[in-house]
Amino acid sequence: MKSGAAIPLIAQDHGEAAAEGIFGVPTLYFGSGKPVFVKLDEGDWEGKDDAGLFDAVRAAVADRPYLLELKTPESAQRAEASRKRYAKYTGAKA
């Protein structure tokens, strides 16, 4: 990465992913339907339930093209907190 030699490969992968509707990491694609972006909180759970989480997401969305988005009420609170932190460090309007 430091040499920049991988940048063309990354750009190509990014272009291909964007063409498929992938816009963030981690995005899961189950081969049918559409890609699913999964926003996760950090915590002690990491690594303990990876397969179970993957299976649950797949079960919820793989065969339900009509399911467009899932959010928890906490999502809005975390987004607001993130926006405030960003404003604090960048001087942007809070």
pLDDT tens digits, one per residue of 58-80 = 888 888 888 888 777 777 777 78
- Where exactly are the structural domains of the chain? 7-90
Indicate the pTM of the whole model.
0.53
C-alpha distances in angstroms, 89 versus 42, 43, 63, 75, 80? 21, 24, 42, 21, 14
pLDDT tens digits, one per residue of 38-63 = 888 777 888 888 888 889 988 888 88
